[in-house]
Amino acid sequence: MAAKYQIRVFGKEGCDKCHTLNQRLEKMLSKAEYADFEKLYCDVETIEGLVAFSEAECINPARIPAMLVTAWNEAENDYEPVATRAPGAQDPVCKKSRLYQYVGLQTDYSDVGRGVISPKMLQSVLAEVIN
């Protein structure tokens, strides 16, 4: 049986920030409270990863690493992006890293975001799906 939620992580080989995001997610997902989630890494430098990235249609290619939370749709027999409850709403934790329409994050390389996706940001995004 498929996991209830799949987190699609978009990154590329040799990217330290991509490696860090993967490690942080794996650590979080090893906890019982996140048992309904699985992670799928999509390397955007491969054909499969680039196709998955293109199908996401919501992530800026200049803001990798990024992640998109998807939910299993039994009728479609596939995962579909989870819509955010309040598109475009201010987010004090994730700020400009939060995706606009779907639940997920992309890296904010501005002086404010400093290119960091923190564990607190990951928890905040996954809490939207769980709660």
Q: Are 41 and 9 in contact (CB under 8 A)?
A: yes
Q: What is the pLDDT of residues 58-117, one digit of tens each?
A: 899 999 999 999 999 999 999 999 999 888 888 999 999 999 999 999 999 998 889 999
Q: Give the integer Cα–Cα distance in Å for 8 and 65.
A: 11
Architecture of domain 5-130: 3-Layer(aba) Sandwich (3.40)
What length does the chain have?
131
Q: Give the integer Cα–Cα distance in Å for 103 and 86.
A: 10
pLDDT band, residue 1 (cuts 50/70/90): low
Does pTM surpass 0.85? yes
Domain limits, the chain: 5-130
